[in-house]
Amino acid sequence: MRTSIAKRVLSLTAVVTAAGLISASVVAQEKAQSLDQLLQMVRSSKVAESKEHQQREAQFRRQKANQQALLTQAKNTRAAEEARSAQLEEKYKEQELLVQQKRQQLDERMGSLKELFGHLTSTTGDLRANLSTSLVSAQYPGRTEFLDQLISKMDSATKLPTIEEIERLWYELQRETVESGKVVKFTGTVIKPDGEQVEQEVVRVGNFNLVSNGKYLELIDGSKMAELVRQPSGKFQSEAANLQAATSGFNAFGVDPTGPTGGSYLKAMINSPSMVERWHQGGIVGYIISAVGAFAMLLAIWRLIALSGMSAKVNAQLRSSTPNTNNPLGRVLAVAEENRGVDGETLELKMEEAVLKERPAIESGLNLLKIIAMVAPLLGLLGTVTGMIVTFQAITIFGAGDPKAMAGGISSALVTTVLGLCVAIPTVLMHTIVNGRAKRILHILDEQSTGIVAESAERK
């Protein structure tokens, strides 16, 4: 009997221990010495756990009561807010009706002023757009801020412009018109191409151009002045400097007629490449054409000088009866003197031989000039083809939507074509002139030699 009771007690103890009903601190502090002591410890543990459960149940009941109170409070708050919302909706409807009545009353009282304010708004907007790009704003900054405020007030349904503001709008219109016809000097901040800001004297030519120290300026952000990175040619810069130094009278000055609209003409003019820049666009082929053209000009000038001197000596020989060997005609006449007693056929052959000896020196360089005149256009065509190849490669890489990607190849193509023609045309003209001089000398030699042979035949 005691054995069975002990077994039950041991099994109950194991179950309680596995469920965690016995605290670890009690087990660690005390150890059962007998089964009765163990049973007593279990009974004490149950009593402690029962008290703990009762405390938890009481806490749960208190929390439930608090939650119920909060729920009731929330419901009351919702009901109050719903009632307040209904009141606000009613008040909003009343206020909306009142606003409509006030607006109708305002429209009735404004009458023709409403149309006037519409014109004022339109005029103010146009003036603001003009002043944002006007060069006069460089001298009188801050005018657009007033116009912005005036437009905002006139667009508002609760504000009206004052008489002073309307008068100032009229004043700004008049001042813009008057200042557009003046040439004035003022001191302002100029932004240099390197980013440095310098205070210096600026000359404003109406609403067309701004210049300072011989440099043209541009307007940035409606009030800032900056030197153009690329300037017009030296003539326009010197005229700008003279205008700034002048105190009265008339002075020549290059005015950009598109200044009031942004100065597009001046920008297009200064962004156009110069002759040297266009020449460099021709690339290697352009340099070769230029070198060939320079050689052709030097050769033509040299031959023209040489033939001119030779022609002068031949003309002097025509007026002299004594042969002089410093010119082709004198040397031909010397051969005739040396062969005075020979028969006509022999003399004719000797004279032809003498003329043939002089021909290479007289016609020297003519064939080379002719070849250059023919090759120069071909070199230009080579540059054209090369430039178009570059253009097509750019189109393949970047597409046809970006004109800048094609500009380099097209410029190179066109420049080489122009260079080829510029070399070929003068070379052809110089060849014609030089060839004419040479043929004239050869014609004199043939004429004199033929006359000498004829006289010899008549004597015999």
Which pLDDT does position 204 carry in this prediction?
92
- The Cα 245–Cα 247 span in angstroms is 7
Average pLDDT over residues 394-413: 70
Cβ partners under 8 Å of residue 168, min gap 6 = 146
Q: Is the pTM of this model over 0.85?
A: no
- Domains of the chain by residue range: 2-79, 111-180, 184-270, 281-459
CB 206 within 8 A of CB 183: yes
Q: Tokens representing 88? A: 């606000």
- The Cα 37–Cα 29 span in angstroms is 14
Cβ partners under 8 Å of residue 250, min gap 6 = none
Predicted confidence (pLDDT) at residue 396 exceeds the cutoff of 50: yes
Which pLDDT does position 266 carry in this prediction?
82
Each residue of 18-31: pLDDT tens digit?
444 334 444 434 56
Confidence of residue 393 (pLDDT cuts 50, 70, 90): confident
Which pLDDT does position 47 carry in this prediction?
62
Average pLDDT over residues 132-154: 86
Confidence of residue 339 (pLDDT cuts 50, 70, 90): confident
Confidence of residue 305 (pLDDT cuts 50, 70, 90): very high
Which pLDDT does position 32 carry in this prediction?
59
Predicted confidence (pLDDT) at residue 191 exceeds the cutoff of 70: yes
Which pLDDT does position 24 carry in this prediction?
40
Q: Tokens representing 451? A: 């006359």
Which pLDDT does position 404 carry in this prediction?
63
CB 431 within 8 A of CB 300: yes
Q: Long-range pairs for 231-234 at CB < 8 Å and ≥24 separation?
A: 231/270, 232/266, 232/269, 232/270
Which pLDDT does position 443 carry in this prediction?
92
Average pLDDT over residues 350-372: 90
- The Cα 62–Cα 259 span in angstroms is 86
Which pLDDT does position 344 carry in this prediction?
76
Q: Tokens representing 409? A: 């190849």
Which pLDDT does position 180 carry in this prediction?
87
Tell me the CA distances in angstroms from 77 to 54, 66, 67, 70, 73, one per residue in order. 35, 16, 15, 10, 6
Which pLDDT does position 9 carry in this prediction?
41
User: Residue type at 409?
Assistant: G
Each residue of 57-100: pLDDT tens digit?
888 888 888 888 888 889 999 999 999 999 999 899 888 888 88
Which pLDDT does position 288 carry in this prediction?
93
| Averaged confidence pLDDT in the chain | 82
Tell me the CA distances in angstroms from 194 to 190, 226, 227, one per residue in order. 11, 10, 10
- The Cα 204–Cα 214 span in angstroms is 12
Which pLDDT does position 5 carry in this prediction?
42
200 has which bridge partners? 188
Strand pairing report for 215-220 and 209-212: antiparallel
Which pLDDT does position 20 carry in this prediction?
46
Please compute, for residue 361, the number of CA atoms within 13 A of its CA located in the half-sphere on the CB side: 15
